[in-house]
């Protein structure tokens, strides 16, 4: 496994990561890591590699964009002194362009998204043992759908930034696309954004595979 024993893994993102995690820090007893893929990761890492004793911390916040992550990066990432950091952001950056098209002041353009995410990766990579960057996704098989096409654009940005800074890239959209060959989007996420347990398992499986854990 790529993550060394006794490492601290901090995962940051939006509602897809959040999923009722504890405040101010999503770590500890009684479901503190929330009900997302993060909880599945903690469970499988503990079950498959118990001797590694990996600390899993959920710092997702519902509704956030990459600009919100930048505003809380010091307290929610650096102050926690992680060994590994995982970033999955972009759904709201794209979604607000479609569900609130007239409120342009809250939109995050591809240019702003790339600049901000690149800055976070650049500042973070030298301070940690490993950086993981997950592509944002839209659970829609039609790649010509306007929101799906835009999400793919933002996913390509993440892939480019990950390569630039030596981060581990996880193509979550590709993981969903594989399952969408056999299931309708409604069976994975009612709004094609917020996954059910199947959807979160798809993310967790892709994550575990990327870090070298076999299920």
Active site annotation includes 49 = no
**Residue ranges making up the domain that contains 16:** 8-210
State the catalytic residue, choosing from 6, 99, 109, 191: 191
pLDDT at residue 57, rounded to an integer: 98
List residues bridging with 56 in a β-sheet.
9
pLDDT at residue 67, rounded to an integer: 98
Model pTM score: 0.97
For the chain, 215 residues long, the average pLDDT of each consecutive 10-residue run is 97 98 97 98 97 98 98 98 98 97 96 98 98 98 98 98 98 98 97 98 98 92
**Tokens at 102, concatenated:** 């007239």
**Tokens at 54, concatenated:** 């990996």
Query: Is 185 inside any structural domain?
Result: yes
pLDDT at residue 126, rounded to an integer: 97
State the catalytic residue, choosing from 15, 49, 107, 201: 15
Residues in the chain: 215
Query: Is 46 inside any structural domain?
Result: yes
- Asked whether the bond before 24 is cis by omega within 30 degrees of 0, the reply is yes
Active site annotation includes 191 = yes
Whether the CB-CB separation of 114 and 161 falls below 8 Å is answered with yes
Active site annotation includes 14 = no
CATH number at residue 53: 3.40.50.1110
Query: Is 1 inside any structural domain?
Result: no
Whether the CB-CB separation of 137 and 173 falls below 8 Å is answered with yes
Number of folded domains that form the chain: 1
State the catalytic residue, choosing from 76, 93, 194, 200: 194
Residue 163 to residue 91: CA distance in whole angstroms: 21
Those residues whose C-beta lies under 8 Å from the C-beta of residue 43, and which sit 6 or more positions away, are none
pLDDT at residue 214, rounded to an integer: 86
Query: Is 2 inside any structural domain?
Result: no
Those residues whose C-beta lies under 8 Å from the C-beta of residue 173, and which sit 6 or more positions away, are 135, 136, 137, 138, 151, 152, 155
Instruction: Render the burial of 142-163: b for 16+ CB within 10 Å, e for the rest.
Output: eeeeebbebbbebbebbbebbe
Query: Is 215 inside any structural domain?
Result: no
Residue 170 to residue 135: CA distance in whole angstroms: 6
Phi, psi of 16 (to 5 degrees): -65, -30
List residues bridging with 130 in a β-sheet.
84
């Amino acid at each position: 496994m790529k993550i060394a024993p006794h490492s601290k893994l901090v995962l940051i993102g939006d509602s897809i990561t959040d999923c009722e995690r504890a405040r101010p820090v999503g770590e500890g007893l009684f479901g503190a890591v929330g009900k997302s893929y993060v909880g599945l990761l903690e469970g499988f890492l503990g079950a498959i590699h118990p001797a590694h004793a990996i600390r899993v911390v959920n710092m997702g916040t519902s509704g956030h964009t990459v600009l919100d992550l930048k505003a809380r990066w010091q307290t929610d990432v650096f102050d926690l002194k992680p060994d590994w950091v995982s970033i999955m952001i972009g759904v709201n950056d794209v979604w607000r362009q479609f569900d609130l098209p007239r409120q342009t002041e809250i939109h995050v353009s591809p240019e702003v998204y790339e600049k901000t995410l690149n800055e976070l990766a650049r500042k973070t990579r030298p301070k940690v043992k490993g950086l993981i960057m997950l592509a944002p996704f839209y659970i829609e098989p039609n790649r010509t759908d306007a929101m799906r096409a835009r999400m793919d654009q933002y996913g390509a940005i993440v892939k480019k930034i990950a390569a630039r800074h030596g981060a581990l890239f996880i193509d979550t959209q590709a993981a969903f696309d594989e399952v969408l060959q056999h299931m309708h989007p409604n069976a994975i996420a009612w709004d094609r954004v917020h996954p059910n347990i199947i959807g979160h398992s798809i993310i967790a499986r892709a994550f575990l595979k990327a870090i070298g854990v076999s299920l």
